[in-house]
């Protein structure tokens, strides 16, 4: 069976597949964990450089005197653009750890992460930098779940869900024009669309003028009204509700969406954002919505089970052979 997952970078769509793998395999294999080592090491360094670059741009300095030079040290260090990264120099590990312990870094991550689209996993990786930067580092399942990977073009992942084999095709929302690829998936049994509830204040593009949630909404509108998916059930993941709840009190949603009147109430915010997406469904096709935190394996199991049931039911309607426990 075939499903396609669609969403902007950072929406959590890759984590959905990882959760499906965890749910049915119990853990990632040693090979899968090792395969993510380079990505995780890059995540740590890139996140630290993003913070240091924001400090430089904003004219901020570390509070602790002994930390004054570490932002520059981190900015001067660059990983190779290509190839596998196997380790981080110990002096850079020390610098990242020192930077994270400095109050100004904590303030930036807490209050200004949306200003420069800092990855949501940055605090986790900063907390774990000494373990991750140690010789012989082997990623854990949690590390793999939080690893952020860019997807270019169309990528297929095979997932074994009990007796059901699912081929999941990933389409990156970045810079892609939907009409160029959307027809490639006219025969899938399910569309999984993922958006991040916390992206309402984030901007993208070279000029930093396009609202990230507005981009996700435009992409969803194209997908949900496409003739190619007229008979295909769509599952909409409203992801990162935990990040949304933390952000609302500091960054008012109404500053970016003036029609919103619910203040810092996370339930009201979710209701408003869900409505923005469901009301563009002019085609009237079937859309299921799920409120998710895809890095939380326990709470996500029920959602994954429901998604797999949707795929199974769709396949049966098309009279495809399928079995599922």
Question: Is 242 marked as a binding-site residue?
Answer: yes
Count, residues in the chain: 325
- Separation CA 49–CA 96 (nearest Å): 9
Q: How many CB atoms lie within 10 A of CB 184?
A: 13
Q: Which residue has the higher pLDDT, 272 or 183?
A: 272
The fold adopted by the segment(s) 37-138 is GI Alpha 1, domain 2-like (1.10.400)
Q: What is the DSSP letter of 66?
A: G
CA distances from 272 to 83, 189, 200, 261, 276 (A): 43, 29, 12, 9, 6
Q: How confident is the model at residue 177 (pLDDT cuts 50, 70, 90)?
A: low
176's tokens: 């892609």
Q: Mean pLDDT, to the nearest integer, of 279-306?
A: 83
Q: Does 153 score more than 80 pLDDT?
A: no
Question: Is 151 marked as a binding-site residue?
Answer: yes
Q: Does 180 score more than 70 pLDDT?
A: no
Q: Compute the C-alpha angle 75/77/80, nearest 5°.
A: 125
What is residue 198's predicted lDDT score, i.e. its pLDDT?
A: 92
Which class does domain 2-27+150-317 fall in?
alpha beta
Q: Mean pLDDT, to the nearest integer, of 105-134?
A: 92
Question: Is 239 marked as a binding-site residue?
Answer: yes
Which run of H or E residues covers position 71? helix 70-76
φ and ψ at residue 235, rounded to 5 degrees:
-110, 125
Long-range contacts of 54-62 (CB under 8 A, 24+ apart): 54/108, 54/112, 54/115, 54/116, 55/104, 55/105, 55/108, 58/112, 60/104, 60/108, 61/104, 62/99, 62/102, 62/104, 62/105
What is residue 233's predicted lDDT score, i.e. its pLDDT?
A: 86
Per-residue b/e over 105-127, b at no fewer than 16 CB within 10 Å? Answer: beebbeebbbbbbbbbbbbbbbe
Question: Is 295 marked as a binding-site residue?
Answer: no
What is residue 98's predicted lDDT score, i.e. its pLDDT?
A: 96
pTM: 0.80
Of 129-143, 262-276, 298-312, the range with the lowest mean pLDDT is: 298-312
37's tokens: 């080592």
Domain boundary assignment for the chain:
2-27+150-317, 37-138
What is residue 325's predicted lDDT score, i.e. its pLDDT?
A: 41
Mean pLDDT of the chain: 84
Closest to 108 in 3D by CA, of 148, 69, 141, 59: 59
Beta bridge partners of 237: 194, 290
* Residue percentage of the chain with pLDDT more than 90: 45
What is residue 322's predicted lDDT score, i.e. its pLDDT?
A: 45
Question: Is 241 marked as a binding-site residue?
Answer: yes
Question: Is 240 marked as a binding-site residue?
Answer: yes
Q: Over the stretch 187-233, which tens digit does the pLDDT of each residue have? A: 777 888 999 999 998 887 655 678 889 989 998 999 899 888 888 88
Q: How confident is the model at residue 179 (pLDDT cuts 50, 70, 90)?
A: low
Question: Is 25 marked as a binding-site residue?
Answer: no
Q: How many CB atoms lie within 10 A of CB 39?
A: 17
Q: Mean pLDDT, to the nearest integer, of 77-102?
A: 94
Question: Is 121 marked as a binding-site residue?
Answer: yes
């Amino acid at each position: 069976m075939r499903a396609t997952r669609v969403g902007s970078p950072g929406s959590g769509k890759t984590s959905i597949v990882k959760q499906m793998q965890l749910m049915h395999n119990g853990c990632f294999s040693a090979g899968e964990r090792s395969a993510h080592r380079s990505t995780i090491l890059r995540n740590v360094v890139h996140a630290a450089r993003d913070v240091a670059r924001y400090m430089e741009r904003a004219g901020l300095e570390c509070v602790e005197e002994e930390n004054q030079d570490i932002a520059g040290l981190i900015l001067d260090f660059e990983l190779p653009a290509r190839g596998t990264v196997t380790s981080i120099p110990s002096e850079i590990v020390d610098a990242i750890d020192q930077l994270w312990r400095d109050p100004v870094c904590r303030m930036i991550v807490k209050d200004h992460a949306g200003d420069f689209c800092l990855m949501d996993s940055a605090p986790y990786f900063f907390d774990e930098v000494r373990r991750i930067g140690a010789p012989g580092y082997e990623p854990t399942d949690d590390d793999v779940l939080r690893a952020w990977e860019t997807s270019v073009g169309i990528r297929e992942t095979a997932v074994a869900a009990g007796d059901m084999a699912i081929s999941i095709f990933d389409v990156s929302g970045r810079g892609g024009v939907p009409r160029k690829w959307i027809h490639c998936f006219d025969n899938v049994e399910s569309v999984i669309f993922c958006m991040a509830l916390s992206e309402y204040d984030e901007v993208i593009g070279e000029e930093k003028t396009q609202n990230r949630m507005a981009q996700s909404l435009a992409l969803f509108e194209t997908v949900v009204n496409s003739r190619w998916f007229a008979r295909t059930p769509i599952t909409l993941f409203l992801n990162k509700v935990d990040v949304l709840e933390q952000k609302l009190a500091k960054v008012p949603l109404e500053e970016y969406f003036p029609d919103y009147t619910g203040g810092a109430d996370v339930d009201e915010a979710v209701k408003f954002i869900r409505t923005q997406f469901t009301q563009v469904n002019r085609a009237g096709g079937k859309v299921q919505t799920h409120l998710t935190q895809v890095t939380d394996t326990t709470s996500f199991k029920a959602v994954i089970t429901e998604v797999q049931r949707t795929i199974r039911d769709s396949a049966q309607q098309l009279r495809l052979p399928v079995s599922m426990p």
